Amino acid sequence: MPSYAALLVPARYDPQLLEKACRALRRRDPQLRRVMNHAGPCGLETRHDPYRGLLRSVLFQQLAGAAARAIEARLKALYGGRYPRAERLLASPERDLKAAGLSRQKIASLRSIAAAFSEGRLSNRRLRRMDDDAVVEAVTEVRGVGEWTAHMLLMFSLSRPDVLPVGDYGVRKGAMTLYDLDELPRPAELESLAEPWRPYRSVASWYLWRVEDLPPPSAG
Protein backbone atom coordinates (compact mmCIF):
# COMPACT_ATOMS: atom_id res chain seq x y z
CA MET A 1 0.00 0.00 0.00
CA PRO A 2 1.50 3.39 -0.97
CA SER A 3 2.35 5.88 1.74
CA TYR A 4 0.21 8.94 2.43
CA ALA A 5 2.98 11.12 0.99
CA ALA A 6 2.99 9.09 -2.22
CA LEU A 7 -0.76 9.54 -2.61
CA LEU A 8 -0.28 13.32 -2.46
CA VAL A 9 1.77 13.28 -5.66
CA PRO A 10 -0.65 14.30 -8.43
CA ALA A 11 -0.80 12.64 -11.81
CA ARG A 12 0.69 14.85 -14.51
CA TYR A 13 -0.44 15.76 -17.97
CA ASP A 14 1.67 14.02 -20.59
CA PRO A 15 3.56 16.75 -22.55
CA GLN A 16 3.25 14.69 -25.72
CA LEU A 17 -0.51 14.46 -25.25
CA LEU A 18 -0.72 18.26 -24.83
CA GLU A 19 1.30 18.78 -28.01
CA LYS A 20 -0.95 16.36 -29.90
CA ALA A 21 -4.04 18.12 -28.54
CA CYS A 22 -2.77 21.53 -29.62
CA ARG A 23 -2.03 20.31 -33.13
CA ALA A 24 -5.54 18.87 -33.43
CA LEU A 25 -7.23 21.99 -32.04
CA ARG A 26 -5.28 24.30 -34.33
CA ARG A 27 -6.34 22.25 -37.32
CA ARG A 28 -10.00 21.98 -36.34
CA ASP A 29 -10.77 25.48 -35.04
CA PRO A 30 -9.29 28.55 -36.76
CA GLN A 31 -10.78 30.92 -34.19
CA LEU A 32 -9.30 29.03 -31.29
CA ARG A 33 -6.01 28.92 -33.22
CA ARG A 34 -5.74 32.70 -32.88
CA VAL A 35 -5.87 32.43 -29.09
CA MET A 36 -3.36 29.61 -29.14
CA ASN A 37 -0.93 31.60 -31.29
CA HIS A 38 -1.08 34.49 -28.84
CA ALA A 39 -1.02 32.45 -25.60
CA GLY A 40 1.72 30.06 -26.63
CA PRO A 41 2.17 26.52 -25.30
CA CYS A 42 -0.61 25.09 -23.18
CA GLY A 43 0.05 25.66 -19.49
CA LEU A 44 -2.50 23.17 -18.25
CA GLU A 45 -1.02 21.47 -15.21
CA THR A 46 -2.03 19.33 -12.29
CA ARG A 47 -1.92 21.26 -9.03
CA HIS A 48 -3.08 19.04 -6.18
CA ASP A 49 -4.02 15.51 -5.28
CA PRO A 50 -7.83 14.92 -5.33
CA TYR A 51 -8.34 15.39 -1.59
CA ARG A 52 -6.52 18.70 -1.43
CA GLY A 53 -7.99 19.75 -4.78
CA LEU A 54 -11.52 19.36 -3.43
CA LEU A 55 -10.69 21.29 -0.27
CA ARG A 56 -9.14 24.11 -2.26
CA SER A 57 -11.97 24.33 -4.78
CA VAL A 58 -14.57 24.61 -2.03
CA LEU A 59 -12.48 27.17 -0.19
CA PHE A 60 -12.23 29.33 -3.34
CA GLN A 61 -15.93 29.10 -4.23
CA GLN A 62 -17.65 32.50 -4.53
CA LEU A 63 -14.59 34.41 -3.31
CA ALA A 64 -12.27 36.79 -5.11
CA GLY A 65 -8.87 35.23 -5.71
CA ALA A 66 -6.95 37.48 -3.32
CA ALA A 67 -9.41 36.95 -0.47
CA ALA A 68 -9.47 33.20 -1.01
CA ARG A 69 -5.66 32.98 -1.07
CA ALA A 70 -5.46 34.93 2.19
CA ILE A 71 -7.89 32.55 3.88
CA GLU A 72 -6.06 29.58 2.40
CA ALA A 73 -2.77 30.84 3.84
CA ARG A 74 -4.29 31.30 7.30
CA LEU A 75 -5.91 27.87 7.18
CA LYS A 76 -2.69 26.13 6.14
CA ALA A 77 -0.76 28.03 8.81
CA LEU A 78 -2.82 26.13 11.40
CA TYR A 79 -1.30 22.91 10.10
CA GLY A 80 2.33 23.76 9.48
CA GLY A 81 1.80 25.36 6.08
CA ARG A 82 -0.16 22.59 4.39
CA TYR A 83 -3.68 21.28 4.09
CA PRO A 84 -4.47 18.95 7.01
CA ARG A 85 -5.14 15.26 6.71
CA ALA A 86 -8.82 14.39 6.88
CA GLU A 87 -8.76 13.14 10.47
CA ARG A 88 -6.95 16.22 11.71
CA LEU A 89 -9.37 18.56 9.96
CA LEU A 90 -12.33 16.76 11.50
CA ALA A 91 -10.78 17.13 14.96
CA SER A 92 -10.05 20.85 14.57
CA PRO A 93 -12.10 23.20 16.78
CA GLU A 94 -14.59 25.26 14.80
CA ARG A 95 -13.32 28.45 16.47
CA ASP A 96 -9.87 27.90 14.92
CA LEU A 97 -11.35 27.45 11.46
CA LYS A 98 -13.53 30.53 11.88
CA ALA A 99 -10.49 32.52 13.00
CA ALA A 100 -8.84 31.62 9.69
CA GLY A 101 -11.73 33.35 7.91
CA LEU A 102 -13.91 30.38 7.00
CA SER A 103 -17.67 30.78 7.09
CA ARG A 104 -19.81 28.23 8.91
CA GLN A 105 -21.02 26.93 5.53
CA LYS A 106 -17.49 26.42 4.21
CA ILE A 107 -16.44 24.72 7.43
CA ALA A 108 -19.32 22.29 7.04
CA SER A 109 -18.37 21.60 3.42
CA LEU A 110 -14.68 21.07 4.19
CA ARG A 111 -15.57 18.71 7.01
CA SER A 112 -17.93 16.80 4.74
CA ILE A 113 -15.07 16.25 2.29
CA ALA A 114 -12.77 15.21 5.12
CA ALA A 115 -15.40 12.78 6.46
CA ALA A 116 -15.84 11.20 3.02
CA PHE A 117 -12.11 10.52 2.80
CA SER A 118 -11.73 9.50 6.44
CA GLU A 119 -14.59 7.00 6.14
CA GLY A 120 -13.33 5.63 2.84
CA ARG A 121 -16.27 6.74 0.72
CA LEU A 122 -13.74 8.68 -1.34
CA SER A 123 -10.02 8.15 -1.77
CA ASN A 124 -7.33 9.53 -4.03
CA ARG A 125 -6.64 6.08 -5.43
CA ARG A 126 -10.28 5.27 -6.15
CA LEU A 127 -10.96 8.61 -7.82
CA ARG A 128 -7.93 8.16 -10.06
CA ARG A 129 -9.33 4.84 -11.26
CA MET A 130 -12.85 6.11 -12.02
CA ASP A 131 -13.97 7.41 -15.38
CA ASP A 132 -15.00 11.05 -15.62
CA ASP A 133 -18.74 10.54 -15.18
CA ALA A 134 -18.21 8.31 -12.16
CA VAL A 135 -15.96 10.93 -10.54
CA VAL A 136 -18.61 13.62 -10.99
CA GLU A 137 -21.30 11.36 -9.53
CA ALA A 138 -19.16 10.34 -6.56
CA VAL A 139 -17.91 13.74 -5.46
CA THR A 140 -21.16 15.64 -5.97
CA GLU A 141 -22.74 13.45 -3.29
CA VAL A 142 -20.61 15.37 -0.79
CA ARG A 143 -22.03 18.52 0.76
CA GLY A 144 -20.73 21.67 -0.90
CA VAL A 145 -19.36 19.90 -3.99
CA GLY A 146 -21.18 20.73 -7.20
CA GLU A 147 -20.57 20.09 -10.88
CA TRP A 148 -18.12 23.00 -11.28
CA THR A 149 -15.97 21.70 -8.40
CA ALA A 150 -16.08 18.21 -9.90
CA HIS A 151 -14.91 19.57 -13.26
CA MET A 152 -12.04 21.46 -11.62
CA LEU A 153 -11.09 18.24 -9.83
CA LEU A 154 -11.00 16.34 -13.11
CA MET A 155 -8.88 18.98 -14.82
CA PHE A 156 -6.47 20.05 -12.09
CA SER A 157 -6.18 17.00 -9.84
CA LEU A 158 -6.86 14.02 -12.12
CA SER A 159 -5.31 15.29 -15.38
CA ARG A 160 -8.31 14.38 -17.52
CA PRO A 161 -7.88 15.85 -21.04
CA ASP A 162 -11.51 15.92 -22.18
CA VAL A 163 -13.38 17.99 -19.59
CA LEU A 164 -15.68 20.86 -20.52
CA PRO A 165 -16.62 22.94 -17.45
CA VAL A 166 -19.93 24.18 -18.82
CA GLY A 167 -20.73 26.17 -15.67
CA ASP A 168 -17.44 28.06 -15.52
CA TYR A 169 -17.88 31.79 -16.12
CA GLY A 170 -14.42 32.26 -17.63
CA VAL A 171 -14.90 29.49 -20.18
CA ARG A 172 -18.36 30.76 -21.10
CA LYS A 173 -17.14 34.36 -21.37
CA GLY A 174 -14.21 33.28 -23.51
CA ALA A 175 -16.52 31.39 -25.85
CA MET A 176 -18.91 34.34 -26.07
CA THR A 177 -16.08 36.71 -27.00
CA LEU A 178 -14.22 34.42 -29.36
CA TYR A 179 -17.26 33.28 -31.32
CA ASP A 180 -19.06 36.64 -31.21
CA LEU A 181 -22.12 35.34 -29.37
CA ASP A 182 -24.85 37.69 -28.15
CA GLU A 183 -24.80 36.25 -24.63
CA LEU A 184 -23.01 33.73 -22.47
CA PRO A 185 -23.61 30.27 -23.96
CA ARG A 186 -25.82 27.91 -22.04
CA PRO A 187 -24.45 24.44 -21.26
CA ALA A 188 -26.10 22.77 -24.27
CA GLU A 189 -24.84 25.49 -26.62
CA LEU A 190 -21.33 25.24 -25.22
CA GLU A 191 -21.42 21.45 -25.55
CA SER A 192 -22.36 21.81 -29.21
CA LEU A 193 -19.69 24.42 -29.85
CA ALA A 194 -17.08 22.20 -28.20
CA GLU A 195 -17.89 19.05 -30.13
CA PRO A 196 -14.95 19.48 -32.56
CA TRP A 197 -12.56 19.74 -29.61
CA ARG A 198 -13.08 16.17 -28.41
CA PRO A 199 -11.13 14.46 -26.89
CA TYR A 200 -9.16 17.54 -25.83
CA ARG A 201 -11.79 19.84 -24.34
CA SER A 202 -9.70 20.48 -21.21
CA VAL A 203 -6.98 21.98 -23.40
CA ALA A 204 -9.48 24.06 -25.36
CA SER A 205 -11.01 25.29 -22.09
CA TRP A 206 -7.58 26.38 -20.85
CA TYR A 207 -7.23 28.52 -23.98
CA LEU A 208 -10.74 29.96 -23.55
CA TRP A 209 -9.56 31.27 -20.18
CA ARG A 210 -6.86 33.15 -22.12
CA VAL A 211 -9.26 34.88 -24.54
CA GLU A 212 -9.52 38.05 -22.47
CA ASP A 213 -5.73 38.47 -22.82
CA LEU A 214 -5.99 38.74 -26.59
CA PRO A 215 -5.12 42.10 -28.15
CA PRO A 216 -7.90 43.70 -30.22
CA PRO A 217 -7.83 42.76 -33.94
CA SER A 218 -6.53 46.21 -34.87
CA ALA A 219 -3.52 45.67 -32.62
CA GLY A 220 -2.37 42.78 -34.65
Residue 12 sits at the vertex; the CA angle it makes with 207 and 116, to the nearest 5 degrees, is 100
CA dihedral over 97, 101, 104, 106, signed as positive or negative: negative
pLDDT at 60: 87
The residues near 138 (Cβ < 8 Å, ≥ 6 apart) are 122, 127, 130
> CA-CA distance, 151 to 167, in Å (whole number)?
9
> pTM of the full predicted structure?
0.87
Whether residue 168 lies in the annotated active site: yes
Stated as kind and residue range, the H or E segment containing 204 is: helix 201-208
Is the distance from CB of 128 to CB of 158 less than 8 angstroms? Answer: yes
Cα 177 off chain centre by = 22
pLDDT at 8: 42
> CA-CA distance, 38 to 215, in Å (whole number)?
9
Positions of the chain with pLDDT under 50: 1-10, 219-220
pLDDT at 220: 43
Structural domains of the chain, with CATH: 8-45+164-219 (1.10.1670.40), 50-156 (1.10.340.30)
Cis peptide preceding 199, ω within 30 of 0: yes
Classify 132 as helix, strand or coil: helix
pLDDT at 216: 67
pLDDT at 12: 77
pLDDT at 74: 96
Is the distance from CB of 114 to CB of 86 less than 8 angstroms? Answer: yes
Active-site residue, from 168, 180, 182, 213: 168
- Per the document, the length of the chain is 220
pLDDT at 9: 43
Number of Cβ within a 10 Å radius of residue 123: 14
